[in-house]
């Protein structure tokens, strides 16, 4: 995801007095004011860190929650290793590849793969989204059921292209990319998270460079998630694709997973 856009004004808020000091630390780290007019707020409350649009017609807050809500439902009832993303990255009996999710976002796809037993590195370069994800992982680490899953998730903050070029340690077997796409279906545009995040993350004009960096690092395959009717990313052509109702996975095979 791309770096924060200066046009979107945002301030830091503590929702309860005893979290004021912790909120001030987030504000200092993210270089956010603690007061003043703004269109958005990053808030710290009892439920964790959340991003909210300010105003009477604004949607509700967005936070990263791996313990309850939609992510928990998908973990329990989402289809396990039969899910398309699992097939795309090569999950199969006896095979749980080491995956790098280089466009982590809210971490949902990475969490699905970690819940299936994959070791997952995550990279997020947008500081606000990275903060939400980092804090959500910290909260989930203390949960009896989910803690073991997020222990398989390791978050890195920074530019994915640079981090992949200077990767330390064993190369990930699979690199997963889900770049922001500028022409999403109208139904996706009205989603709360798109409305909240689009002013900050923009699109990913460097997707071709991201793909090239991933192909240079991955040992076995690169997987790119796209809207079903979107063109492939400029550059190398995928070997094949898995297609669903609204999305598809372009797969660039390098070596057989086993």
Annotation-wise, does 108 bind a ligand? Answer: yes
Annotation-wise, does 206 bind a ligand? Answer: no
Q: What is the number of other CB atoms lying within 10 angstroms of the CB of residue 237? A: 8
What are phi and psi for residue 94, nearest 5 degrees?
80, 0
Alpha helices in 116-230 (DSSP H): 127-141, 147-150, 160-165, 186-189, 192-201, 207-217
Contact 76, 98 (CB under 8 A): no
Contact 86, 113 (CB under 8 A): yes
Q: How far apart are the first and last CA of the chain?
A: 31
Using alpha carbons, select from 109, 110, 108 the residue that is nearest to residue 120.
Answer: 110
CA 50/CA 25 separation, integer angstroms? 15
Beta strands in 55-189 (DSSP E): 99-101, 120-124, 153-157, 174-177
Annotation-wise, does 250 bind a ligand? Answer: no
- Residue ranges at the known binding site for S-adenosyl-L-methionine: 108-109, 124-125, 178
- Residue ranges at the known binding site: 108-109, 124-125, 178
């Amino acid at each position: 995801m791309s770096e924060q856009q200066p046009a979107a004004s945002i301030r830091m808020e503590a929702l309860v007095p005893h979290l004021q000091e912790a909120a001030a630390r987030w504000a200092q780290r993210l270089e956010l004011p603690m007061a003043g007019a703004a269109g958005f707020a990053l808030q710290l409350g009892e439920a964790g860190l959340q991003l909210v649009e300010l105003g009477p017609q604004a949607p509700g807050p967005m936070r990263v929650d791996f313990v309850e809500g939609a992510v928990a439902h998908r973990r329990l009832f989402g289809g396990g290793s039969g899910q398309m993303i699992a097939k795309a990255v090569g999950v199969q009996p006896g095979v749980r590849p080491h995956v790098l999710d280089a466009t982590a976002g809210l971490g949902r796809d990475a969490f699905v793969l970690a819940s299936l037993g994959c070791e997952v590195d995550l990279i997020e370069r947008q500081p606000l989204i990275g903060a939400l994800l980092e804090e959500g992982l910290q909260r989930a680490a203390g949960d009896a059921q989910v803690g073991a899953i997020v222990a398989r998730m390791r978050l890195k903050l920074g530019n994915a292209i640079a981090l992949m070029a200077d990767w330390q340690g064993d190369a990930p077997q699979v690199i997963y990319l889900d770049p922001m796409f500028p022409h999403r279906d109208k139904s996706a545009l009205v989603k709360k998270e798109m409305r909240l995040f689009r002013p900050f993350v923009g699109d990913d004009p460097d997707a071709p460079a991201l793909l090239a960096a991933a192909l240079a690092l991955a040992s076995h395959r690169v997987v790119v998630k796209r809207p079903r009717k979107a063109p492939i990313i400029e550059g190398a052509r995928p070997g094949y694709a898995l297609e669903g109702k609204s999305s598809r996975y372009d797969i660039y095979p390098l070596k057989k997973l086993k």
